[in-house]
Structure 1
Amino acid sequence: MTNRRHFLQTSITAVFASRLGLSAQEAEKINVRQITQGPKYHWFAYYDKDQFSPDNRYVLGNEVDFEHRSPTADDVIKVGMVDLQDGDKWTELGESHAWNWQQGCMLQWVPGTESTVMWNDRQGDKFVCHLMDVKTKEKRTLPNPVYNLSPDGKWGIAPDFRRLNDTRPGYGYAGVPDPNKEVLIPEDAGIWKINMETGEQKLIITFAQAAAIPYEGGFSPNAKHWFNHLLFSPDGSRFIFLHRWKGDGDKSFNTRLFTAKADGTDLYVLDPLGRTSHFVWRDPQHVFAWAFHPSHGDRFYLYKDKTSEVEVVGKDKMPRNGHNTYVPHTNNEWVLNDCYPDKERMQTPYLYHIPTDRRVNLGHFYSPAFYTGEWRCDTHPRSSRDGRLVCIDSPHSKGRQMYLIEIHDIVGT
Structure 2
Amino acid sequence: MIASSTCIVNRLPESGRIVNLKCPVRRLGSGERHHFFGYYNKSAWDRTGRYVLGNQVAMMDAPLTPQLMARVGYFDIEDRETFHAIDTTTAWNWQMGCQLQWLDGEPGRKVIYNTRTGDLSARYPGFGAAIFDIDTATKTTLPMPVYVCAPNSRYALCVDYRRLYVTHETIGYSERGGPFPMQLAPAEDGIHRLDLATGETALIVSYDDLRSFHNVPSMQNAIHWVSHIEINAASSRVLFLHRWTERTADETCFLHRLITMNPDGSGMRLLDCSDHPLPQLAEHFDSSAVGTFDYEKSEYQISHPLWQDDSHVIVWGPHAGSIHYHLYEDSDNGSVEVIGRDLLTENGHMSFSPVDTRWLLSDTYPDSRTNTRILFLYDMHEDVRYDIGEFYASPDLKKENRCDLHPRWNRNGRAVCIDSVHEDARRMYVIDVAQITGTR
In the alignment, structure 1 residue 222 sits paired with structure 2 residue 221: yes
State the Cα deviation string for residues 28-48 of structure 1 (Å, max 9, x = none).
xx2100112241211001010
Deviation at 1:372, TM superposition (A): 2.2
User: Which runs of 5 or more structure 1 residues have no equivalent in the other structure?
Assistant: 1-5, 14-20
In the alignment, structure 1 residue 358 sits paired with structure 2 residue 384: yes
In the alignment, structure 1 residue 49 sits paired with structure 2 residue 48: no
Q: CA 1:182–1:112 in 2, change beyond 3 Å: closer, same or farther?
A: closer
In the alignment, structure 1 residue 123 sits paired with structure 2 residue 107: no
State the Cα deviation string for residues 316-354 of structure 1 (Å, max 9, x = none).
111110000001211x11001111111211111110001
Deviation at 1:298, TM superposition (A): 1.6
* Structure 1 residue identity aligned to 2:422: H
Q: Tell me how large the CA RMSD over aligned residues is.
A: 2.0
Matched residue, 2:257: 256
Runs of 4+ deviating beyond 6 Å: 176-180
In the alignment, structure 1 residue 305 sits paired with structure 2 residue 306: no
TM-score by length of 1: 0.91
Whose RCO is larger (CA < 8 A, sep 6+)? 2
In the alignment, structure 1 residue 81 sits paired with structure 2 residue 74: yes
Matched residue, 1:108: 101
Q: CA 1:179–1:205 in 2, change beyond 3 Å: closer, same or farther?
A: farther
Q: CA 1:176–1:186 in 2, change beyond 3 Å: closer, same or farther?
A: farther
- Distance across 2 between alignment mates of 1:37 and 1:301: 39
* Structure 2 residue identity aligned to 1:261: N
Deviation at 1:176, TM superposition (A): 6.3
Contact 2:414 2:432 in 1 (8 A): yes
* Structure 2 residue identity aligned to 1:77: A
* Structure 1 residue identity aligned to 2:116: R
- Give the match's secondary structure for 1:263: coil
Deviation at 1:273, TM superposition (A): 2.2
Matched residue, 1:391: 417
- Distance across 2 between alignment mates of 1:213 and 1:286: 22
Deviation at 1:259, TM superposition (A): 0.6
- Give the match's secondary structure for 1:152: coil
Deviation at 1:68, TM superposition (A): 3.6
* Structure 2 residue identity aligned to 1:338: D
Deviation at 1:408, TM superposition (A): 1.1
Contact 1:170 1:374 in 2 (8 A): yes
- Distance across 2 between alignment mates of 1:89 and 1:198: 34
In the alignment, structure 1 residue 174 sits paired with structure 2 residue 174: yes
Equivalent of 1:374 in 397, 400, 404:
400
- Give the match's secondary structure for 2:156: strand
State the Cα deviation string for residues 283-314 of structure 1 (Å, max 9, x = none).
1211111001125x221000111334211001
Matched residue, 1:318: 344
Deviation at 1:10, TM superposition (A): 4.5
- Distance across 2 between alignment mates of 1:137 and 1:358: 46
Task: State how many pairs are aligned.
Answer: 394
- Distance across 1 between alignment mates of 2:309 and 2:361: 16
Matched residue, 2:53: 60
- Give the match's secondary structure for 2:65: coil
* Structure 1 residue identity aligned to 2:260: T
Equivalent of 1:338 in 360, 363, 366:
363
State the Cα deviation string for residues 77-100 of structure 1 (Å, max 9, x = none).
111111112211110111111111
TM-score by length of 2: 0.85
- Distance across 2 between alignment mates of 1:37 and 1:370: 24
Contact 2:269 2:332 in 1 (8 A): no
Matched residue, 1:158: 158
Q: CA 1:370–1:380 in 2, change beyond 3 Å: closer, same or farther?
A: same
- Distance across 2 between alignment mates of 1:177 and 1:205: 28
- Give the match's secondary structure for 1:361: strand
Contact 1:162 1:177 in 2 (8 A): no
Matched residue, 2:87: 94
Matched residue, 1:199: 199
